Structure 1
Amino acid sequence: MAKLTNIKKDTSTEEKIKEAARKLFTQKGFAETKTREIAEEAGINLALLNYYFRSKQKLYDLIMEDNMRSFRQGISELFGNTEYGVYEKIEKLANYYIDEFIVHRDLPMFIVTTIYSSGGDTLSASEDDQVAKSRKIFVNQIKELVSQKKIKPVHPAHIISNLIGLIIFPFMISPLLKKRVQINEKEFVELMKERRQLIPVWIKAMLEN
C-alpha cells in the first residue's frame, strides 16, 4: 500500500473535504464539529483528511478565508456598479449580507478578527486596487448627493461604518442579545430578517435633510 506522503494531492478530493467541512461548520459551528465527522461527510478516511489539511483549525481558516473573499468580492461588485444609486446599494447590501450571515454565523467574527490581526492588510495588491476603485465610485455617489443637497453633508466614512456595523454587530453579540432580550434562535433569525428592511430606512432617515 502506498504511503500517503507519496500520493499526489487531488484538487477534487480537496474540494470535497472543504465542502463537507463547510457544511458541518455551518450546521454545528467550529467547536462542535469533529474531524472524523468531516471525513465521514466527505467519504474519505481520517488519515487522508489529515494529509490534505493538517488540522481542523487550518481547514476552518481556509474556508473562512474563502467566505471572506466572496464577501469582499460582493461588496466590491456592488459598490462599483454604476447602475445602482446609493440607496439601492444600501438596500441590496443589507439584504444580501444579512442572509449570508444567517447561514455563515462564524463569518462576522472571523472578518473582524482577521482585520485586527492583519492590521487591515487583508487583500492582495490586485484585490486592494479593485476594492479601492469600487469604493471610490460609491463615495463619489455620496458626494454627488451632498453637492446636490439631497442628503446632509456627512463624511462617506460615517455611512459605510454605520452600514457595516448595523449589519454585522448583532450577529457578533447574538449569544448576549438572545439572553438579554429572552429570544430563541428562531426569533433571532426573524429579527435579523426584519433588519433587511429596517437598515435602509434608518440610513435614509440619518441622511435626509
Structure 2
Amino acid sequence: MNTEELSTEDKILIAASKVFTEKGFSGTRTRDIAEEAGINLALLNYYFRTKEKLFEQVMKVKIVLLFGQIIPIVTNEKTSLDEKIDLASVKYFEILSKNPNLPIFVLSEIQKKTSDVKSILPFEKVLNNSYLMKQIKERKPDVNPFHFLLNFLSMTVFPFLGKPILQSFDLMNDEEFQKFVEERKTMVPMWIKMMLNN
C-alpha cells in the first residue's frame, strides 16, 4: 500500500471518527463520511466496504483510547497502589480533556450493542489478573474491588458526561469547566485514597 492510499485511508478514518462521534452509528450514512473526507462514495467503499467495518475501526481506536491507555498503569508491578491512583487520574483527565465527547460516544454505542467491546479489548482478563486488583484486595480484603474501580471511573468520566448539563444551565463556561477539571486531577486521587484507607 503506497503513501497516497494510506493518507486516503487516514482521511476516511478521521472523517468517520468525527461523524460517528457527532451522529452515532445509526444516524450516520456513508455518504456523510465521504463528504466529510472530501472523497467520493465509491472510494470510501473501496477502502472499507461497509459502514459496519468502518465503524469497527473507529470503535477500536476509541475504546483503546478510553480504556487501553490505562493498562500499563494497572499492570505495573513496580508502582504502589497510591502511585497507580495518581497516574491513572492524571492519564484519564489528560485523555478526556483532549477528547471530551469520547465517553458519551463509547458508552452510548456500547449500550446500543453496535460493537463487540470484548473482542476489541479483552479488558476484563487484563483487569482481573492485574497487579492493581491484587493491591486493592490486599488493602481492602473485605470490599469488592469493583466498588473502587466504578468510583474512580465515575469521578473521572462523569464530569465530561455532565458538562452539557452544567453548560445548558449556565453553571459553567468552558474556561470554568477546565479549571474544575484541573482541580479534580488532585481531588479525585485524594478521595479514592481516603476510601481505601478507611
TM-score when normalising by structure 1: 0.71
Query: Which residue is equivalent to 1:4?
Result: none
Query: Which residue is equivalent to 2:154?
Result: 165
Other structure's SS at 1:30 match: helix
Query: Which residue is equivalent to 2:126?
Result: 130
Deviation at 1:175, TM superposition (A): 0.9
Other structure's SS at 2:188 match: helix
Deviation at 1:190, TM superposition (A): 2.2
Distance 1:90 1:114, change over 3 A: farther
* RMSD over equivalenced CA pairs, Å: 3.4
Q: Which moved more, 1:175-184 or 1:51-60?
A: 51-60
Other structure's SS at 1:110 match: helix
Deviation at 1:168, TM superposition (A): 1.0
- Alignment map for 1:90-105 (pairs within 5 Å): 90-105=85-100
1:94 and 1:200 in contact (8 A); partners too: yes
Aligned length, in residue pairs: 186
- Alignment map for 1:1-209 (pairs within 5 Å): 10-22=5-17, 25=18, 30-31=22-23, 35=33, 38-40=36-38, 44-45=39-40, 47-49=42-44, 51-53=46-48, 59=54, 62-118=57-113, 122-124=117-119, 127=122, 128-134=124-130, 137-146=131-140, 153-180=142-169, 182-209=171-198
2:62 and 2:102 in contact (8 A); partners too: yes
1:178 and 1:184 in contact (8 A); partners too: yes
Deviation at 1:47, TM superposition (A): 4.6
Q: Which has the larger radius of gyration?
A: 1
By percentage of residues, which structure has more helix? Answer: 2
Letter in 2 for 1:130: V
Structure 1 stretches of 5 or more lacking a match?
Answer: 1-9, 148-152
Deviation at 1:61, TM superposition (A): 5.9
Deviation at 1:200, TM superposition (A): 0.4
Distance 1:59 1:184, change over 3 A: farther
1:114 and 1:122 in contact (8 A); partners too: no
Deviation at 1:64, TM superposition (A): 3.7
Letter in 2 for 1:116: Q
Q: Name the CA distance, whole Å, in 1 between partners of 2:193 and 2:75.
A: 20
Deviation at 1:48, TM superposition (A): 2.4
Q: Which moved more, 1:175-184 or 1:80-89?
A: 175-184
Other structure's SS at 2:77 match: coil
Q: Name the CA distance, whole Å, in 2 between partners of 1:57 and 1:187.
A: 38
Distance 1:100 1:37, change over 3 A: farther
Deviations 1:101-132 (A, max 9, x none): 12222211123224433499621298353343
TM-score when normalising by structure 2: 0.74
Deviation at 1:161, TM superposition (A): 0.6
Q: What is the aligned-residue identity percentage?
A: 34
